[in-house]
Amino acid sequence: MVLCVSLLSSPSVLAAAITTNSIAGWPQGPEIVDETGVLMEAETGTILYDKGMDQRMYPASTTKIMTALVVLENTEDLQTKITFTETGTKEVTPDSANIQAQLGEELTVEQCLYASLLASANEVSSQLAEFVGGTKEHFVEMMNLKAQELGCSDTHFTNPNGLPDENHYTTAHDLALIMQAAIQNETFREIESTQTYTIPATNKTATPRNLTNHHAMLVSGNPSYYEGAFAGKTGHTDAAKDTLVTAAEKNGMTLICVVLKSDNGQVVADTINLFNYGFEQFQRLPMTEKDETKSGGYAIVPKNITKDQVQVQENADGELIQQTYTWQNVQVGSAAVEKVTPTPTPQPEKKAPADTQEEPKPYLADSTLSLVIIGALCLLILIGLSAIVIKLKKKK
């Protein structure tokens, strides 16, 4: 894996341009100090900002977003208790984020998820992996399969917590795709938006553990709090430097921001700048009628763009029409729309022109006249016959 090491280690290779700034008519994005970054709209997957988003990087503890997603998708009862083994407790070290879990201690899956996501506890993440996957190694295989399922094109995990490993890597874009899937889970959103959480005393501890969300943008009262931010994960190792994944919602539009490798504490400031850029410069533009739309139906475009400026490509798919929306050759949305069969308009009954219409025949009058004539003839015949009979009698 020499190639992997060189890609992840060489600053000269990692220097990245903001490629979205080269799109004609695209709002110019801000400069960020992080090595790579992406701003993606969550519903359509539209990329609003791209600075080296497909370059391979170390994720550090933002890995735990995938860990939580796999746990949530493979656990029926979050109140199930987990007993800590050496798999987890061996990672309770002074240089590793932890909650000092003890051998034989029992915590519920839910409590472990809070400890992993809010406190970034490495030993808890490993113990969750063993519980769900049977072994930590099998759980990591589940993580990698999930990454493939989500369309992550350059991601490989070797552990569930993001501890340093040259074969543990991802990209800003892949992390955005993972976050896109995770925020569709209501439990994940609930945990991530929690500012403080208390784990009560356990079978091994006499006092409760009070956890605080490490993500400053999610904590009200913090100078870095960002209105609309509802989920996210911090990360840091010596190799990865600072990493940050965040989701925020305003005006019906949800954006996901990922910034990777900053060694000067600018990940929060850069994320805020990118969110402000996205929410101020772009709009969620309705493209279809709601009652006919099965999915999608929106385009994410600059605020000065109107519906008639967006190109629409259609492909029939059974009972649906698949629409793809593009602007400046950038895909900005899609939709699945029901086929609509037009209802035929009733046509009025055609009538002949007034001057060619035939006058109705007086059938009743003609019949009556015929009867009168026939009756008169019969009467005359009877009179004639009577006369003949009378003459014959006189002759006798």
Task: Report how far residue 57's alpha carbon sits from residue 222's, in angstroms, rounded to the nearest whole number.
Answer: 29
Report DSSP state, residue 3.
Answer: H
**Virtual torsion, Cα 259, 261, 265, 268, nearest 10 deg:** 10
Longest Cα pair distance anywhere in the chain, in angstroms?
Answer: 161
Task: Report how far residue 316's alpha carbon sits from residue 323's, in angstroms, rounded to the nearest whole number.
Answer: 9
DSSP assignment string, 116-160: HHTS--HHHHHHHHHHHHSSHHHHHHHHHHHHHHTT-SS-B-SSS
Give 296's strand partners. 335
Task: Report how far residue 94's alpha carbon sits from residue 100's, in angstroms, rounded to the nearest whole number.
Answer: 10
Name the helix (H) or strand (E) containing 338. strand 330-338
How far, in Å, are 18, 259, 303 from residue 32 at the CA level? 9, 9, 23
* Annotated binding residue 136: no
Q: Tell me which residues are annotated as active site.
A: 61, 64, 120
- Cα-Cα end-to-end distance for the chain: 150
How far, in Å, are 351, 360, 361, 362, 380 from residue 357 at the CA level? 9, 9, 12, 15, 42
Question: Residue 366 region, left (φ>0) first, then alpha (ψ -120 to 50), else beta?
Answer: alpha
DSSP assignment string, 273-311: HHHHHHHHHEEEEE-S-GGGEEEEEEEEEETT--GGGSE
Using alpha carbons only, give the angle 189, 194, 196 rounded to the nearest 5 degrees. 160
Q: Return the axis-axis angle of helices 64-73 and 122-133, rounded to nearest 10°.
A: 30
Q: Return the axis-axis angle of helices 136-149 and 64-73, rounded to nearest 10°.
A: 90
Contact 242, 232 (CB under 8 A): no
The amino acid that residue 319 corresponds to is E
Residue numbering of the annotated binding site for substrate: 233
Residue numbering of the annotated binding site: 233
